[in-house]
Amino acid sequence: MSSVSSVAIPDDLRSLTPEWVTAALRQRGHLPNARVVDLKLENVGCGRMGAIARVSLTFEGDPGDVPSSLIAKLPTEVNENRIFGEISGMYWREILFYEELRNEVPVRTPRLYHSAMSVKVPPGDRMRRVARIADWFPQKVLERFLALRKRQAVVQRPRYMLLMEDMKPARAGDLRIDGTLKTCDQVLRSIAQLHAAFWKSPRLSEVRWLNGLAINPRMRHRMYMGARDKFVQHHQKLLTQEDLAVLEWIDRNGPSLSRIFDRDAPETVIHCDLRFDNILFDRVRNEPIAFIDWQLAAIGPAAFDVAYFLSAALDTTVSQDEELALLHAYHQTLLSSGVTGYPFELLVRDYRRGLVAVVQVLCSSYSLDLGVGLEMDGFDRWVERAFGRLRNMPLVDLLSPSLRPPPLAHGTQRTHG
């Protein structure tokens, strides 16, 4: 399936018309005996990186396999965030996921009805080569490089479009409702099936547009350092002296830990934004949970997804035994899905390294406009919980190649190293 489109790509949701939807669906082989004569838009999400609406359709004729409502997704209208999404490849990455990989993943995701973009994605080998080179640019050279890419994004203003299955009555998860151990177990067992399907698979080298996290650890650390002070200023009432010491440790050891994490943990396809907002639950029809928003999909350590999800989902009162039980459930699903050579001790080690990586991501997110699409009380809760899982952990042990994982006990003295 190709994202090249003979249909003009709308720049915003207001540009959607019955004629455009008819033409877009027909291009993909839908509506041979019908057309859309009316539509209604309902905003269902205006996140940091995307504008999303439910499109309710009225047909003339037999629509065949086209449902009466679809989900339309375009880039965000927040200019700075849209530029970031463009230069980081978020928009074309999600389109290519639905076009080329969606049918291979063993988890439920929306069906694709139309996709298009106005850019030609460069070959994966070239992208990876540029990313590796840029990771070693001096700061001033990197700043000039990024400034040029931003100007290009502003001038060219590429367009991207997705029309997908509307999975109602399924609803996005809510941390306040769904943050239970039972639901966390369900999510981890499901995402483990995705991880197992691509675990050290030859397919990873074939999906050339899917970048690996191991490509640019220094650049990721620069993003963290650039947003760190803003993060601390905003959350100063939440952060303890222990938490600030964690950040100071990351300041010194972040790139080294990233390289060790990426080097030691087995690679697979990861979601990279695994939180309740991107997980759909259908309690009415008792359907399997579904995963949405694949803009950040990557090749990397499966434990990053686990740490990312649990860092937000687990309250600080959750005991270490309950935490371990969730990790065991995830690990058992890996094993039953065919993964070998990955003992539980290594999962725990990688999970703890992943928690540090999550803190880096939380800080780095302050390079974006957090005023749009992010419920700040929920983000505060995430910050508190993520740091809570790291408290009293000997972080220096995370740099060791030893098989022995860092202790999970929350009452020991932390050694920052």
**Residue 89 lies inside a defined structural domain of this protein:** yes
Determine the pLDDT at residue 415.
Answer: 37
Q: Quick one: residue 350, left, alpha or beta (phi over 0 = left, psi -120 to 50 = alpha)?
A: alpha
Name the 3-class secondary structure at 403: coil
**Residue 253 lies inside a defined structural domain of this protein:** yes
- The total of other beta-carbon atoms located within 10 Å of residue 82's CB is 24
Determine the pLDDT at residue 270.
Answer: 97
Based on the fold, state whether residues 152 and 162 are members of the same structural domain: no
Based on the fold, state whether residues 218 and 133 are members of the same structural domain: no
- Total domains in the fold of the chain: 3
Whole-model pTM above 0.85?
yes
Determine the pLDDT at residue 251.
Answer: 95
Determine the pLDDT at residue 414.
Answer: 36
**Residue 149 lies inside a defined structural domain of this protein:** yes
> Sign (positive/negative) of CA torsion 325, 331, 336, 342?
negative
Based on the fold, state whether residues 203 and 224 are members of the same structural domain: yes
Determine the pLDDT at residue 89.
Answer: 85
Taking the chain (417 residues) in runs of 10, the rounded mean pLDDT of each run is: 66 91 94 95 79 95 95 88 82 94 96 92 60 62 64 74 95 87 96 97 88 73 89 92 95 92 93 94 89 94 97 93 97 98 95 95 76 61 93 87 52 38
Q: Distance of CA 348 to CAs 262, 324, 344, Å?
A: 15, 8, 6
Based on the fold, state whether residues 73 and 203 are members of the same structural domain: no
Determine the pLDDT at residue 230.
Answer: 92
**Residue 322 lies inside a defined structural domain of this protein:** yes
Based on the fold, state whether residues 316 and 375 are members of the same structural domain: yes
Name the 3-class secondary structure at 54: strand
Cα(300)–Cα(168) distance, integer angstroms: 31
Based on the fold, state whether residues 87 and 53 are members of the same structural domain: yes
Cα–chain center distance at 81 = 15
- CATH number of the domain that 3 lies in? 3.30.200.20
Tokens of 190: 């499901």
**Residue 408 lies inside a defined structural domain of this protein:** no
Based on the fold, state whether residues 255 and 393 are members of the same structural domain: yes
Based on the fold, state whether residues 371 and 328 are members of the same structural domain: yes
Based on the fold, state whether residues 182 and 40 are members of the same structural domain: no
Number of alpha carbons in the 13 Å side-chain half-sphere of residue 179: 20
Based on the fold, state whether residues 145 and 115 are members of the same structural domain: no
**Residue 348 lies inside a defined structural domain of this protein:** yes
- The total of other beta-carbon atoms located within 10 Å of residue 133's CB is 11
- CATH number of the domain that 222 lies in? 3.90.1200.10
Based on the fold, state whether residues 74 and 153 are members of the same structural domain: no
**Residue 416 lies inside a defined structural domain of this protein:** no
Determine the pLDDT at residue 97.
Answer: 96
Based on the fold, state whether residues 141 and 18 are members of the same structural domain: no
Determine the pLDDT at residue 29.
Answer: 93
**Residue 404 lies inside a defined structural domain of this protein:** no
Angle between the N-to-C axes of helices 302-313 and 320-336, in degrees from 0 to 180, rounded to the nearest 10: 150
Determine the pLDDT at residue 386.
Answer: 94
**221 closest CA partner among 138, 135, 308:** 135
Range of the domain at 100: 1-119+158-166
